[in-house]
Structure 1
């Protein structure tokens, strides 16, 4: 059994990256990564991407330095290698399997397991509709990941917040305001018969907040959801460009000039706020990068 690291050769995001793999099992690889402080988001199907400056610490923790060729040979021999042509399909399969697991984890104990699973399956079907380019199950997984990042930083993320993440774009027809309202109504209609008390109403309230992303200063639940929804703005420039292109694709029916004006109006409204993000942790993690990305997109929109 061995954890292997190849030489850093892949430039991105201002540094050079290497691959870290196990020649035995993903369980061994994940355990080593956790112990070494390598974040889960660095995992890509069969390896972790690690920056060059982390390699000495990984070697000191027990990883072995090997050539790129040896790493690939041993990864293939282990049966863990995902070939290039299969990576997109495998990434989709794993994401949807993980989303099914996450839905089960937020189940209310009073709801029958099969009934809860059926609700989750219906929601996933909605998130996978063909007309979605950005507001799809990748976005759903991202929002849930960002909520995990925010969990406990200022207050625990409740089940209502997690359920609101699942419902916040469950209806998506590209009609701002109306989509959020219909998603909130779907949450009440779907969850109301199953959840006791006012929880379904709280889920709907949180879903409606994503129309404006302006929670009250005392609304910790709303702040967490809104920040998780907007965290894409702080992506790397490459991913931000893909996000912006996906948003444009969802509005393909809108003429280019009209889209540029409308999109610029939305972005300028974001920048006009004192903070893009409502939580202190969100501002610490994402504020500066988000503002840089939004300003750069505005420059591109203004240039036509």
Structure 2
């Protein structure tokens, strides 16, 4: 019975990542992770994703560092490995369960019967079939990135989290109008349930139309940074993001999409900073710029 960690070699979000697994028991794995201070969100079905700067701590705490091939072989032999064919369905189910729990925690002062139907409506909107990227997965990622910012000491309040739930709740591929409609949905839904911050949530949703918050507007800064954090993802995740965005514009020709997308990327690179909070600038600015620059170069090469 052993805890195993492989060398950090998978890039994402400005660092490299390793995997922590148990070769016998998920109970053992979760207990070790809790003692080591790994966040629950780092668990990915059969392993924990571990940033490079934590690997030495895990080894000191008792994990065995092994080659990636050995880790995979022992995880497979244990019967704990989640097969690739099963990962999407299992991940989707766990993600939905987590979202339901998160929504329930947002308004403990309200009756469940008044609050939970609003969350069900939102999850239905985020799961609409025409969404390629702005879907339930994106919603969950934004909330997780808000967790990252909070754990790093960034200050924001409940309206920022509520705004994350509503920020693309109306999505028809109409920049500006979608944010306006999502803001009005937030205002109406929250006012109807007596949420005092309804107008503030609507304001924050509108800020995501341009992702240019004032540094003193801490709620908007955290929300916008969490929304843009995908730009700093691993190359593989970034490629999935780009493909998802393309699927949302099936009516646009490849050439028109290439030109429009390239213009968006040039505007991003032309900013002094992509992110506003100090945590996001430190962790995500460089890898995000690298990803955006690579994509732009690829589009320009095709033009």
Report 1:242-281 matches (<5 A). Answer: 242-281=240-279
C-alpha distance 58-195 of structure 1, shift in aligned 2 (>3 A): same
Deviation, 1:17, is 4.8
**Structure 2 runs not aligned, ≥5 long:** none
State the match for 1:146 in structure 2. Answer: 145
- Structure 1, residues 218-272: CA drift from partner, whole Å, max 9, x if none? 2111111011100111111121111111111111211112111211221211222
Equivalent residues of 1:140, 1:166 under 8 A apart: yes
Question: Which one is further off, 176-185 or 251-260?
Answer: 251-260
State the match for 1:183 in structure 2. Answer: 182
1:123 equivalenced with 2:127 (yes/no): no
Separation of aligned partners in 2, 1:95 and 1:143: 13
Separation of aligned partners in 1, 2:138 and 2:212: 20
Separation of aligned partners in 2, 1:54 and 1:208: 38
TM-score (norm 2): 0.88
Separation of aligned partners in 2, 1:275 and 1:121: 36
**Structure 1 runs not aligned, ≥5 long:** none
State the match for 1:282 in structure 2. Answer: 280
SS at the partner of 2:155?
A: coil
SS at the partner of 1:44?
A: coil
Equivalent residues of 2:133, 2:241 under 8 A apart: yes
Separation of aligned partners in 2, 1:153 and 1:49: 17
- Structure 1, residues 14-68: CA drift from partner, whole Å, max 9, x if none? 9795551262334x32231233354555422022245788666434323357855
Task: Let me know the Cα RMSD of the aligned residues.
Answer: 2.5
Equivalent residues of 2:3, 2:29 under 8 A apart: no
C-alpha distance 31-222 of structure 1, shift in aligned 2 (>3 A): same
Equivalent residues of 2:17, 2:49 under 8 A apart: no
Equivalent residues of 2:208, 2:224 under 8 A apart: yes
